Amino acid sequence: MPIEMDYVIMQGMSIFRILGIPSDGPGKSSPETETVRKITRALDQLEPARAKFIAAFAYLLSRAARADLNISPAETRTIERIVMEHGHLPEAQAVIVVQMAKTQTVLFGGTENYLVSREFNAAATHDEKMALLDCLFAVAASEDAISTIEDNEISQIADELRIEHRDFISVRSRYRDHLAVLKKNPLP
């Protein structure tokens, strides 16, 4: 039975509360996002700050992979390998983290993207941000071509992480052979 809006307004209930969004509204999130909390639960045995870091890292990798609205099996395998290596996780745990990150990206990408980037930015060192940037390009290149859409999404993430443009270009140049925009028949 649908909720009548008049009834909701009369009862003083916020639409945000009905949808399970914190009462301070979607634009004013708590310091950690629900997305990161869900992934973090899969990392219970890790120190909490490290678990949050890995959760945000995996989410951002999934975000770049899904820029073209599809996360391919090759991209998934690459993300899993990267999460295992950078997160120092066993394969089974990395697979769970990646699957949760992919699901969260699909379900909440539009609203969570900036929030997760902001959280990662606050927790990461410059070197960790640069490592993530390299990993973002590696994920996008896992199908041999980085589409313009993926390249633009990675650029957006770099901006959100306040990575300087010259650093972005430095990492991007290592993947120039994969950039569709530089190929004869570029992908969209």
In this structure, of 22-26, 38-42, 153-157, 176-180, the range with the lowest mean pLDDT score is 22-26
Q: Which of 38-47, 65-74, 163-172, 176-185 has the lowest mean pLDDT?
A: 38-47
Class of domain 31-182: mainly alpha
Q: Distance of CA 42 to CAs 52, 93, 95, 175, Å? A: 10, 8, 10, 32
pTM given for the model = 0.75
User: For 66-164, where are the alpha helices, taking DSSP H only?
Assistant: 73-87, 91-123, 126-140, 148-160
Q: What is the CB neighbour count within 10 angstroms for residue 51? A: 21
pLDDT digits (tens, 9 = 90+) for 87-133: 998 888 888 889 989 998 888 878 889 999 999 999 999 999 999 99
State the Cα–Cα distance between residues 42 and 7, nearest whole angstrom: 39
Which of the four pLDDT bands, split at 50, 70 and 90, describes residue 2? Answer: very low
- The CA distance from 54 to 140, in Å, is 19
The pair of structure tokens assigned to 84 is 């295992």
Q: What is the pLDDT of residues 18-70, one digit of tens each?
A: 445 454 545 555 555 666 666 666 667 778 888 889 999 999 999 999 999 99
The residue-averaged pLDDT of 1-22 equals: 43
Q: What pLDDT was estimated at residue 44? A: 72
CB 23 within 8 A of CB 17: yes
Judge whether residue 11 has pLDDT over 90: no
Three-state DSSP class for 71?
A: coil
**Cβ-contact 163, 130 below 8 angstroms:** yes
Ranges of each domain in the chain: 1-30, 31-182
